[in-house]
Amino acid sequence: MSDYIRSKRFGGTFFFTVTLKNRQSSLLVDHVDLLRESVRYVKSRRPFVIVAWVILPDHIHAIWRLPEGDNDFSRRWQLIKMLFTKKLKERTHRKMSVWQDRFWEHEIRSDEDLRVHIHYCYLNPVKHGYVLSTRDWPYSSFHRDVTLGLFDIHWNGLL
Protein backbone atom coordinates (compact mmCIF):
# COMPACT_ATOMS: atom_id res chain seq x y z
CA MET A 1 0.00 0.00 0.00
CA SER A 2 1.44 3.37 -0.97
CA ASP A 3 1.73 6.29 1.41
CA TYR A 4 -0.92 8.99 1.02
CA ILE A 5 0.61 12.33 0.03
CA ARG A 6 -1.30 15.39 1.22
CA SER A 7 -1.58 18.42 -1.01
CA LYS A 8 1.04 21.10 -0.40
CA ARG A 9 -0.79 23.80 -2.36
CA PHE A 10 -0.67 27.23 -0.76
CA GLY A 11 -3.91 29.20 -0.55
CA GLY A 12 -5.95 26.29 -1.88
CA THR A 13 -9.53 25.20 -1.35
CA PHE A 14 -10.01 21.79 0.23
CA PHE A 15 -12.85 19.39 1.06
CA PHE A 16 -12.47 17.42 4.29
CA THR A 17 -14.12 14.51 6.03
CA VAL A 18 -13.26 14.28 9.73
CA THR A 19 -14.68 11.35 11.68
CA LEU A 20 -15.18 10.26 15.26
CA LYS A 21 -13.59 7.03 16.40
CA ASN A 22 -17.02 5.71 17.45
CA ARG A 23 -19.18 5.83 14.31
CA GLN A 24 -22.33 5.23 16.41
CA SER A 25 -21.67 8.30 18.55
CA SER A 26 -23.64 11.53 18.43
CA LEU A 27 -21.01 13.61 20.27
CA LEU A 28 -20.69 16.22 17.53
CA VAL A 29 -24.35 17.27 17.56
CA ASP A 30 -24.77 16.65 21.29
CA HIS A 31 -21.91 19.07 21.96
CA VAL A 32 -22.08 21.24 18.84
CA ASP A 33 -21.50 24.34 20.95
CA LEU A 34 -18.07 23.03 22.00
CA LEU A 35 -17.19 22.20 18.40
CA ARG A 36 -18.25 25.66 17.20
CA GLU A 37 -16.27 27.28 20.02
CA SER A 38 -13.20 25.23 19.11
CA VAL A 39 -13.46 26.14 15.43
CA ARG A 40 -13.92 29.85 16.20
CA TYR A 41 -10.86 29.83 18.46
CA VAL A 42 -8.61 28.12 15.93
CA LYS A 43 -9.97 30.22 13.06
CA SER A 44 -9.18 33.42 14.98
CA ARG A 45 -5.54 32.38 15.33
CA ARG A 46 -5.02 30.53 12.05
CA PRO A 47 -7.50 32.11 9.64
CA PHE A 48 -9.35 30.24 6.90
CA VAL A 49 -12.61 30.75 5.05
CA ILE A 50 -15.41 28.27 5.61
CA VAL A 51 -16.91 27.73 2.16
CA ALA A 52 -19.28 24.99 3.37
CA TRP A 53 -19.69 22.96 6.54
CA VAL A 54 -22.01 20.27 7.81
CA ILE A 55 -21.83 18.59 11.20
CA LEU A 56 -23.37 15.15 11.52
CA PRO A 57 -23.54 13.09 14.72
CA ASP A 58 -20.28 11.22 14.04
CA HIS A 59 -18.50 13.14 11.27
CA ILE A 60 -17.92 16.50 9.65
CA HIS A 61 -17.69 17.52 6.02
CA ALA A 62 -16.10 20.90 5.42
CA ILE A 63 -14.71 22.99 2.61
CA TRP A 64 -12.06 25.52 3.55
CA ARG A 65 -10.17 28.13 1.58
CA LEU A 66 -6.75 28.83 3.06
CA PRO A 67 -4.99 32.20 2.93
CA GLU A 68 -2.40 32.84 0.22
CA GLY A 69 0.97 31.53 1.33
CA ASP A 70 -0.56 29.03 3.79
CA ASN A 71 -1.09 25.30 3.32
CA ASP A 72 -1.27 24.05 6.92
CA PHE A 73 -4.78 22.63 7.16
CA SER A 74 -3.44 19.62 9.09
CA ARG A 75 -2.40 21.76 12.05
CA ARG A 76 -5.77 23.53 12.05
CA TRP A 77 -7.62 20.20 12.23
CA GLN A 78 -5.24 18.97 14.91
CA LEU A 79 -5.95 22.05 17.03
CA ILE A 80 -9.73 21.86 16.52
CA LYS A 81 -9.76 18.18 17.48
CA MET A 82 -7.54 18.73 20.53
CA LEU A 83 -9.54 21.71 21.78
CA PHE A 84 -12.90 19.98 21.30
CA THR A 85 -11.62 16.88 23.14
CA LYS A 86 -10.29 19.01 26.01
CA LYS A 87 -13.55 20.94 26.36
CA LEU A 88 -15.57 17.72 26.16
CA LYS A 89 -13.46 16.15 28.90
CA GLU A 90 -14.02 19.24 31.10
CA ARG A 91 -17.77 19.03 30.50
CA THR A 92 -18.26 15.27 30.91
CA HIS A 93 -15.41 14.52 33.36
CA ARG A 94 -14.62 11.45 31.29
CA LYS A 95 -11.33 10.70 29.60
CA MET A 96 -12.00 9.45 26.13
CA SER A 97 -10.41 9.07 22.76
CA VAL A 98 -12.79 10.92 20.45
CA TRP A 99 -11.42 11.24 16.92
CA GLN A 100 -10.08 8.92 14.28
CA ASP A 101 -6.38 9.68 13.97
CA ARG A 102 -6.53 10.88 10.39
CA PHE A 103 -8.90 12.80 8.16
CA TRP A 104 -9.64 12.69 4.47
CA GLU A 105 -8.82 15.67 2.27
CA HIS A 106 -9.42 16.50 -1.38
CA GLU A 107 -8.03 19.54 -3.17
CA ILE A 108 -10.75 21.40 -5.07
CA ARG A 109 -9.50 21.93 -8.63
CA SER A 110 -12.36 23.64 -10.48
CA ASP A 111 -15.63 25.52 -10.05
CA GLU A 112 -17.52 22.33 -10.93
CA ASP A 113 -15.54 20.33 -8.38
CA LEU A 114 -16.40 22.98 -5.77
CA ARG A 115 -20.10 22.91 -6.68
CA VAL A 116 -20.22 19.11 -6.43
CA HIS A 117 -18.57 19.10 -3.00
CA ILE A 118 -20.75 21.90 -1.61
CA HIS A 119 -23.82 19.94 -2.73
CA TYR A 120 -22.36 16.80 -1.17
CA CYS A 121 -22.01 18.63 2.17
CA TYR A 122 -25.55 19.99 2.10
CA LEU A 123 -27.19 16.75 0.99
CA ASN A 124 -25.31 14.54 3.46
CA PRO A 125 -27.87 14.76 6.32
CA VAL A 126 -30.58 13.71 3.83
CA LYS A 127 -28.39 10.89 2.49
CA HIS A 128 -27.93 9.54 6.03
CA GLY A 129 -31.67 9.76 6.74
CA TYR A 130 -31.49 12.40 9.49
CA VAL A 131 -33.89 14.74 7.67
CA LEU A 132 -36.03 14.73 4.53
CA SER A 133 -34.81 18.13 3.32
CA THR A 134 -31.52 20.03 3.56
CA ARG A 135 -33.32 23.00 5.12
CA ASP A 136 -34.31 20.86 8.13
CA TRP A 137 -30.74 20.11 9.26
CA PRO A 138 -29.62 22.83 11.70
CA TYR A 139 -25.88 22.03 11.77
CA SER A 140 -24.92 23.32 8.35
CA SER A 141 -23.66 26.43 6.63
CA PHE A 142 -26.53 25.92 4.17
CA HIS A 143 -28.59 28.35 6.28
CA ARG A 144 -25.85 31.00 6.01
CA ASP A 145 -25.79 30.47 2.23
CA VAL A 146 -29.59 30.86 2.04
CA THR A 147 -29.30 34.17 3.91
CA LEU A 148 -26.56 35.25 1.47
CA GLY A 149 -28.83 34.38 -1.47
CA LEU A 150 -26.59 31.57 -2.73
CA PHE A 151 -29.26 28.88 -2.24
CA ASP A 152 -33.03 28.85 -2.11
CA ILE A 153 -34.41 27.50 1.18
CA HIS A 154 -36.31 24.82 -0.78
CA TRP A 155 -33.19 23.62 -2.64
CA ASN A 156 -33.08 19.83 -2.77
CA GLY A 157 -30.00 19.16 -4.89
CA LEU A 158 -31.88 18.76 -8.15
CA LEU A 159 -31.26 21.02 -11.12
pTM for the model stands at 0.92
Beta bridge partners of 21: none
What is the domain range of residue 51? 13-109
Write the CATH number for 90: 3.30.70.1290
Over residues 60-70, the pLDDT tens digits come to 999 999 999 99
Alpha-carbon Rg for the chain, nearest whole angstrom, is 16
Q: Which residues are catalytic?
A: 139
58 SS3 class? coil
Q: Is 144 part of a structural domain of the chain?
A: no
> Is 9 a residue whose pLDDT tops 90?
no
Contact in structure between 20 and 78 (CB atoms under 8 Å): no
∠ CA 16-18-19, nearest 5°, is 150
Q: Is 99 part of a structural domain of the chain?
A: yes
Q: How many domains does the chain divide into?
A: 1
Rounded to whole angstroms, the Cα distance separating 64 from 155 reads 22
Q: Is 71 part of a structural domain of the chain?
A: yes
Over residues 87-112, the pLDDT tens digits come to 999 999 888 889 999 999 999 999 99
